[in-house]
Amino acid sequence: MQTQPASNGAAIEKLASSDPDQIALLFDIDGTLIELGPSPFEVHVPDELRTTLRHLSQITAGALALVSGRPIKDIDILFDPLKLAAIGGHGAELRLHQSIKNLAPMLSDSLRAQLSSAAALRPGIVVEDKGYSVALHYRKVPQNETWLMRHIAAACKAHADEATEVLPGKLMLEVKRPAVNKGEAVRHLMKMEPFRGRRPIFIGDDVTDESVFAVMPDLGGLAYSVTRKVDGLAGIFNSPADVRHALYRLANGQKYEQALAVP
């Protein structure tokens, strides 16, 4: 009989009580640490979150990484001045210290141009050209989902010599190289210092995070989601704000509890 995941309040308590000396923290960004915006370029990162992540990285001896579909250069802009360990592009990029390692070959200029033409053909579609993939967001024009699927299929058919696959997300479709995913990148990361030997804790929210959920048992880790129900989860948070609350408590430990006790 499968154990039911902890609901929001219990998930907050469970995560907040983790031992920083024993764990590695892995976080998706959009829909997990921060709320989704109208487009990937219209989001807000609270200053308190930057402070919390900096402190969590310190108390875990650097074993904290952002695991995102965004390119690492965009992650750095979003969280400036922080430069954390990161997996970008759904596993196409990895940075542990300073340099970024590419784990996937680039898509051709021709394929990327044909995919990106969706923005001109259907205003409201937002293009993220990452080089090794192209993400097409239709949050502002959800009525164009079927058209966009056909557009992508036509572009991929016209470039049948290139190995690609389509990764669906929240009001987003991304064309990328096969066998590149967050889960395999996390496996690689967990073999490296300072992550090696620690228990990974991952929080994600989307179908793009399921590859990480799937590898957590093999790594002896725990997986949490934000709203999404997936087999094997340790807990489910109601919102990114609840995730931030749990992380703030974990970062501040007894200081937080003592502050609550002050009348």
Q: Which of 19, 21, 28, 218 is catalytic?
A: 28
* Cβ–Cβ < 8 Å for 174, 167: yes
Estimate the crossing angle of helix 145-158 against helix 109-116, to 10 degrees. Answer: 160
HSE (side-chain half, CA atoms, 13 Å) at 7: 1
The mean pLDDT value for 54-76 works out to 96
* Cβ–Cβ < 8 Å for 243, 33: yes
Residue 178 has pLDDT above 70, yes or no: yes
CB neighbours of residue 221 within 10 Å:
21
Q: Which of 52-58's residues contact partners 24+ apart within 8 Å by CB, and which partners?
A: 52/244, 52/247, 52/248, 52/251, 53/79, 53/82, 53/84, 53/247, 54/82, 55/251, 55/252, 56/20, 56/25, 56/247, 56/250, 56/251, 57/84
Beta-bridge partners for 237? 226
- Closest C-alpha among 111, 236, 110 to residue 164: 111
8-30: per-residue pLDDT in tens?
999 999 999 999 999 999 999 99
Query: 91: left (phi > 0), else alpha (psi -120 to 50), else beta?
Result: left
The residues near 166 (Cβ < 8 Å, ≥ 6 apart) are 152, 156, 173, 174, 175
pLDDT, position 258: 46
Domains detected in the chain: 8-103+180-261 (3.40.50.1000), 109-176 (3.30.70.1020)
How much is the mean pLDDT over the chain? 92
DSSP state of 117: T
Q: Is 209 an annotated catalytic residue?
A: no
The span from the CA of 72 to the CA of 80, in Å, is: 12
CB neighbours of residue 20 within 10 Å:
18
156-176: per-residue pLDDT in tens?
999 999 999 998 988 999 999
The H or E element spanning position 76 is helix 72-79
pLDDT band at 257 (very low <50, low <70, confident <90, very high): very low
Q: Is 182 helix (H, G, I), strand (E, B) or coil?
A: helix
Backbone angles phi, psi at 245, to 5 degrees: -60, -45
Share of the chain above pLDDT 70, in %: 95
Residue 2 has pLDDT above 60, yes or no: no
pLDDT band at 3 (very low <50, low <70, confident <90, very high): low
- Closest C-alpha among 252, 223, 200 to residue 58: 252
Residue 1 has pLDDT above 50, yes or no: no
Lowest mean pLDDT across 149-153, 224-228, 256-260: 256-260
Assigned token pair, 210: 């399921």
Assigned token pair, 121: 């053909």
pLDDT, position 256: 44
68-98: per-residue pLDDT in tens?
999 999 999 999 999 999 999 999 999 998 8
Of residues 197 and 39, which shows the higher confidence score? 197
Of residues 94 and 1, which shows the higher confidence score? 94
The pTM assigned to this predicted structure is: 0.84
